[in-house]
Chains A and B, each alone.
Chain A
Amino acid sequence: MDFTDYVAGQRPALMRFATILTSQTWLADDLVSDVLGRAFERWDRISLMAEPNAYVRRMIVNEYLSWRRRLARTVPRADVEPNLPVGDAAAQHAERDAMIGRLAQLSKRQRAAVVLRFYVGLDDAGIADYLGCAEGTVRSLISRALTALRLDTTPIAYANLETQS
Chain B
Amino acid sequence: MSDLRTLSDAFRELERRADERAEQPQRAPARHRGTAPLVAATVVAVAALATGTALLTRDGNTPAPAGGAAGSQHPTHSSGHAVTKTPEKHRAKHHAKATDDIVVPKTPDDLAAKFKVVLGDLATFTVTQRSGGANKATAPIFTPSGKRIHQRDLPIPTPNKLGGDTFIGGALTSSDTVTGGYDLQILQTAPGDKAMCDDPDLSTCSVTELADGSSLALGHEPLDGAPDGVTYEVDLVHPDGVELLMHVSNESDPKGESRVLAPKPPLTLDQMKAVVTSDEW
Contact = CB atoms under 8 A, between A and B. Distances in A.
Interface of A: 4, 7-12, 15-16, 18-20, 23, 25-30, 32-34, 36-38, 40-41, 62, 65-70, 72-74, 79, 81, 92, 95-100, 103, 107-109, 114, 118-119, 132, 149-154, 157-158, 160-161, 164-165
B198 A26 contact: no
Contacts of A150: 1-2
Interface residues of B, number: 64
Q: Interface on chain B toward A: helix, strand, loop, or mixed SS?
A: mixed
B146 A7 contact: yes
B76 interface: no
B146 A11 contact: yes
B148 interface: yes
Contacts of A165: 8, 11
Interface stretch (B42-50, B53-61, B82-90, B106-114): B42-50
B5 A12 contact: no
A69 B18 CA distance: 22
B34 interface: yes
Contacts of B245: 69
B22 A15 contact: yes
Given A62-B224, A152-B2, A11 B145 contact: yes
Q: Interface on chain A toward B: helix, strand, loop, or mixed SS?
A: helix
A36 B39 CA distance: 12
A65 B199 contact: yes
B252 to A, nearest CB: 14
